[in-house]
Amino acid sequence: MHRRIIVPSALAASLLLAIPASAADFVPGAPGIGDSYYPTSGNGGYDVSHYDLRLKYQPATDLLEGTATIVATTKQNLSRFNLDIGLAVSEVRVNGRLAKFATSGAHELEVTPATPLEKNKAVSIVVRYAGKPSEVKIDGWTAWARTPDGGVAAQEPDSAAWWFPSNDHPLDKATFDVSVSVPDGTQAISNGVLQSQSSRLGWTRFNWRSNKPQATYLATLAVGKFDITTDRTANGLPVINAYSKDLGDNAGAARASVERTTEVAEWLESVFGPYPFNSLGGYVPNVTSGFALETQTRPFYSPRQFANGANASVVVHELAHQWYGDSVSVRDWKDIWVNEGFARYSQWLWSEKEGEGTAQELADYVYATRSADDPFWTVKPGDPGAENQFHIAVYDRGALALQALRNEIGDEDFFAILKGWPQRFAYGNARVADFVRYAEQVSGKPLAGLFDTWLYEPSKPAASTAAPAAS
Ligand code: ARG
Ligand code: ZN
């Protein structure tokens, strides 16, 4: 006689788990992390916790040679996985064993370990690579700026693939050790704290450590002849600034501006709360580009930022990003407003406290000077598109949105939000929608309509004016 045996489902599940995984259970990690603007940025299947980069760079030839040790955790069973790198790779080891690798597209490295990787396991990946970063073209351009005495990696949304292999997307942050050997008399600048430096046989090695989660595009490397200044904040944090010795007419204004880093950061703490990292500073290399970038702990400033004299405002902008952009980062590149709208608004607040025009006056000025038929109003700061990711509208209209919020909810709630947000999502990632929800929670007001108008309408909204002062 047959009896049906009913196996309780929990037991069935445990029996299934006991069956060894077959090869079919291991699949390749995705070649992108799922970004809406940049489908091949980042990769699927693993999460990096630390990058240890050991590099050597020769300015005379632009040759960069490196060994990257990447500490990661698998998030699925992996038959292979990708890294993002544009330089030529000569060897890959996974958990100490040689792995097969192939390049696909301009910056995808496909790594096939000797044995498949199980989900939720620590994995170490060692990549040896070399090349001339200025000659690496990804989508037709190079993010590496070669200078007369060195080179600089500082770009957004991507710069990592020109100098190290990574999971290149803000969703996967990690800590960094960057050790760079350069010819004596030349310096290497990176993020965080300079741990040590030593010379041997004509080469000097600089060891930098950035010990808080850091997005890959916020990792920076600059090699060249720099004057380096070191100081401490009142709280004891190291302040390290670096100025190319080759800034020409911009040298004085650059120093006069970047030297205000400590003062600006202390003022920003009064607005945004405690500074999120273990060191601060800024560096000004002798590049010809014109922008600045919030590279973590130590922003990059093009000398052209100081071509018209001292410019504290750009220092305010890049330091504001340390809270808005670096500690709290975009989830997806389409969320760029959570970085740029706030960095721009902080410049308006700085102007307000300096007595040079209130935020409302600056908002009124932007509003008045952009006529209704200005294409400025067709860019949606809440989803500008990859081609308009850094359009002036993301900044200026993005800041107008914050002035409209301030007028709607009043200063008390507004400034509570500016201080609360960097705590709420510290060292993490957030979307535009997360900010809208957070502002609604703090203020207790429905705000979807206001944000729709200022972040998503492709036309000029009706002006937002200051609430009448309480009598
Ligand atoms: N986040 C940077 C800033 O606002 C923008 C960098 C834009 N990139 C560029 N190549 N212009 O400071
Ligand atoms: Zn910015």
Q: In percent, how much of the chain has pLDDT > 70?
A: 94
Residue-averaged pLDDT of the chain? 95
Which pLDDT value is given to residue 225? 98
Question: For residue range 109-155, what is the model confidence (pLDDT) as tens digits?
Answer: 999 999 999 999 999 999 999 999 999 999 889 999 999 999 999 99
Ligand 1 mutation target, pool 139, 141, 156, most atoms within 8 A of CB = 156
**Residues whose beta carbons lie less than 5 angstroms from ion ligand 2:** 340, 343
Atom of ligand 1 at shortest range from CA of 395: 4
Q: Of 295, 316, 121, give the one whose Cα is nearest residue 192.
A: 295
Ligand 1 mutation target, pool 291, 316, 394, most atoms within 8 A of CB = 291
Question: How far, in Å, are 15, 261, 368, 387, 412 from residue 432 at the CA level?
Answer: 44, 28, 26, 19, 22
> Which DSSP string corresponds to 62-109?
TEEEEEEEEEEEESS-EEEEEEE--SEEEEEEETTEE-EEEEETTTEE
Ligand 1: list residues with CB < 6 Å.
155-156, 291-294, 317-318, 340, 390
Reported ipTM: 0.96
Ligand 1 mutation target, pool 319, 389, 390, 394, most atoms within 8 A of CB = 390
Question: For residue range 421-455, what is the model confidence (pLDDT) as tens digits?
Answer: 999 999 999 999 999 999 999 999 999 999 999 99
Tokens of 258: 């970047």
d(CA 225, CA 153): 15
Question: For residue range 210-225, what is the model confidence (pLDDT) as tens digits?
Answer: 999 999 999 999 999 9
Angle at 396 between CA 391 and CA 399, to 5 degrees: 130
| 70: Cα within 13 Å, side-chain hemisphere | 27
pTM above 0.90, yes or no: yes
**Ligand that lies nearest to the alpha carbon of residue 143, given by its number in the listed order:** 1
Angle at 416 between CA 259 and CA 462, to 5 degrees: 95
